[in-house]
């Protein structure tokens, strides 16, 4: 896997061959997977620190559910959920923090409190003030593709060629942000699995994810416990199956050099899976063509 770099306000991250693990901290009552579980500031902070102990390289903190049909929340409510968590975590760890928001004011206050990354499901198109916030704080950004909004995205998404269309969107966003003053070195990209995509669209994107490496930016993959996994497995609603399926999808992407940041709920499981996978992959490279000695 090619090595990528990603510029944050206070450091440059080098990525590869092992992808970074981004642990999810949902401070929401209604997220599709763990809504309400960490809907308390102290519990959310403790959960974030636990994810770091389990191997998270980054934390992604969100206060508004983006599940299909989710009800939007106000700036004030979202800030009330995430700002204390960001502030406390920033004082407790050097692990870079990402704020998962499409609201510029939420991003601004969280960046000022110690976050380093804006993870915006609208690709910095939902709030016209978002690019200026990213520029003024020298924030890194994750630009995601989504057809529609969380309220409408799964009604009837349509594509002629989902891989080509998502690629074109991300390429155009990179160029547009560069014109505004957000250089590509600060940008990671996300194809937006489950955001305005039917099952076949998700599978096509995952099967061809390596094609996005020509954009020369880190690719963030968010498939953790997504509904398409259990649909493929024929076991809807089982979190355990979603966790296992998540690992399968991510390892497939890693094997093709197609992912640099893996955003997950179950950090410990992914950390273990990556460690074993990469250990075996490295051994295979070292011993290619050389048979092992008999035991």
**What does the CA dihedral 266, 272, 277, 280 come to, rounded to 10 degrees?**
180
> Is the Cβ–Cβ distance between 16 and 4 less than 8 Å?
yes
Which listed residue (108, 197, 225, 226) is catalytic? 226
Which listed residue (168, 263, 283, 286) is catalytic? 263
Task: Give the helix/strand (H/E) hosting 264.
Answer: strand 261-264
> Is the Cβ–Cβ distance between 53 and 28 less than 8 Å?
no
Q: Residue 7 pairs with which residues in a beta bridge?
A: 12
Strands 4-7 and 220-221: unpaired
Strands 97-100 and 220-221: unpaired
Q: Is residue 263 among the annotated active site residues?
A: yes
> Is the Cβ–Cβ distance between 166 and 205 less than 8 Å?
yes
50, HSE (Cβ side, Cα atoms, 13 Å): 12
Non-local CB neighbours of 151 within 8 Å, separated by 6+ positions = 69, 70, 72
CA 93/CA 98 separation, integer angstroms: 13
Q: Is residue 226 among the annotated active site residues?
A: yes
Catalytic site positions: 226, 263
């Amino acid at each position: 896997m090619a090595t990528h770099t990603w510029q944050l306000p206070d450091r440059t991250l080098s990525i590869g061959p092992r992808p970074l693990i981004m642990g999810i901290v949902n401070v929401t009552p209604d997220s599709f997977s763990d809504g309400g579980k960490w809907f308390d500031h102290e519990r959310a902070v403790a959960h974030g620190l636990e994810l770091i102990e389990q191997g998270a390289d980054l934390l992604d903190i969100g206060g508004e559910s983006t599940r299909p049909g989710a009800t939007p929340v106000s700036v004030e409510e979202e800030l009330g959920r995430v700002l204390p968590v960001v502030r406390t975590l920033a004082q407790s760890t050097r692990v870079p923090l990402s704020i998962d928001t499409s609201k510029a004011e939420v991003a601004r206050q969280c960046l000022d409190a110690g976050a380093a990354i804006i993870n915006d499901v609208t690709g910095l198109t939902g709030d016209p003030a978002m690019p200026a916030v990213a520029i003024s704080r020298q924030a890194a950004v994750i630009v995601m593709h989504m057809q529609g909004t969380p309220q409408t995205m799964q009604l009837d998404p349509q594509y002629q060629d989902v891989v080509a269309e998502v690629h074109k969107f991300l390429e155009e966003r990179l160029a547009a942000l560069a014109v505004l003053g957000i250089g590509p070195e600060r940008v990671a990209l996300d194809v937006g699995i489950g955001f305005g995509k039917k099952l076949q669209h998700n599978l096509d994107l995952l099967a061809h994810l390596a094609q996005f490496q020509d954009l020369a930016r880190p690719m963030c993959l968010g498939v953790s416990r997504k509904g398409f996994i259990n649909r493929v497995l024929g076991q809807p609603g089982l979190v355990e199956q979603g966790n296992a399926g998540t690992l399968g999808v991510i390892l497939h992407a890693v094997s093709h050099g197609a992912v640099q940041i893996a955003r997950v709920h179950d950090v410990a499981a992914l950390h273990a899976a990556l460690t074993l996978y990469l250990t075996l992959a490295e051994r295979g490279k070292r011993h290619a063509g050389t048979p092992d000695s008999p035991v």
